[in-house]
């Protein structure tokens, strides 16, 4: 009927975890993306690609839309270890419904929707802000109890490469918005190209060129 699949009274306070296993041989990618976006509700989707050549575009994009993760299993010898690790993670959600709120600075946060926090696996977000002032408040749910922590931004340590990480995440968000039809392909391409060129990133619209300046003959020859 088009409604999210987990909105009934028996699902209140619960998160449905869907594990989708495939060899990636799926032709109706857009239909799958549209279905996930329209009917995800509170569910989380975890993609498992099996074989030597899974459709990584499909897997990663579906996991991104489903607020889950993508697990690649290249050979049958890896099945037990990879699936055991996945189910150990699924059995241990620490914080769900994560949000990040900046008190003062208007921040551009990526990813736009944060995934859940699982035991032994960090959640990494990046934000572009005008100034390191005020606080960053993270909140979510631990089971049925609310959880929150507030961090002073002026105490943040400097690091290298953060801007590239932020730009790469914003590019992914633009690709997802393009997939869902939230922005036109032309608008998405403009955003992606501007971010890639400014931050020196490889995307489907940009590449890097390496120039070898090693001398090819003896000096003076």
71: Cβ contacts below 8 Å, ≥ 6 apart = 46, 47, 48, 49, 82, 83, 85, 86
- Measured CA to CA, the distance from residue 135 to residue 150 in angstroms comes to 6
Q: Is the peptide bond before 67 cis (omega within 30 degrees of 0)?
A: no
State mean pLDDT over 67-78.
86
Q: 79-113 b/e with 16+ CB inside 10 Å = b?
A: eeebeeebeebbeebbbbebebebeebebebbbee
Q: Is 193 exposed, middle or buried, given 0-12, 13-18 or 19+ CB atoms closer than 10 A?
A: middle
pLDDT band for position 192 (50/70/90)? very high
Quick: pLDDT tens for 89-113: 888 778 888 899 998 768 888 887 7
C-alpha closest to that of 32 among 179, 174, 186: 179
CA distances from 159 to 2, 138, 163, 164 (A): 45, 21, 9, 11
Quick: pLDDT tens for 123-174: 888 998 888 888 999 999 888 889 999 999 988 888 888 999 999 989 988 9
123: Cβ contacts below 8 Å, ≥ 6 apart = 98, 114, 115, 116, 117
Quote the tokens at residue 28: 């109706």
Quick: pLDDT tens for 22-64: 876 777 777 888 888 888 887 888 989 888 766 777 788 888 8
């Amino acid at each position: 009927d088009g409604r999210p699949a987990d909105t009934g009274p028996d699902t209140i306070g619960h998160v449905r975890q869907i594990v989708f296993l495939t060899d990636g041989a799926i032709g109706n990618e857009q239909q799958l993306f549209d279905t996930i976006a329209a009917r995800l509700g509170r569910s989380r989707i975890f993609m498992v690609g099996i074989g030597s050549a899974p459709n990584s575009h499909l897997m990663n994009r579906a996991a991104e839309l489903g607020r889950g993760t993508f697990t690649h299993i290249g050979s049958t010898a890896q099945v037990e270890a990879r699936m055991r690790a996945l189910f150990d993670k699924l059995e241990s959600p620490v914080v769900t419904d994560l949000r990040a709120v900046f008190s003062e600075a208007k921040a551009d946060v990526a990813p736009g929707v944060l995934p859940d926090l699982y035991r032994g696996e960090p959640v990494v977000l990046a934000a572009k802000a005008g100034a390191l002032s005020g606080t960053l408040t993270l909140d979510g749910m631990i089971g049925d109890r609310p959880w929150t922590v507030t961090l002073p931004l002026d105490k943040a340590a400097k690091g290298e490469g953060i801007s590239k990480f932020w730009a790469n995440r914003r590019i992914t968000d633009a690709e997802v918005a393009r997939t869902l039809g939230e922005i036109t392909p032309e608008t998405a391409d403009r955003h992606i190209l501007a971010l890639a060129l400014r931050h020196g990133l490889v995307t489907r619209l940009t590449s890097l060129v390496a120039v070898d300046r090693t001398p090819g003959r003896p000096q003076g020859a």
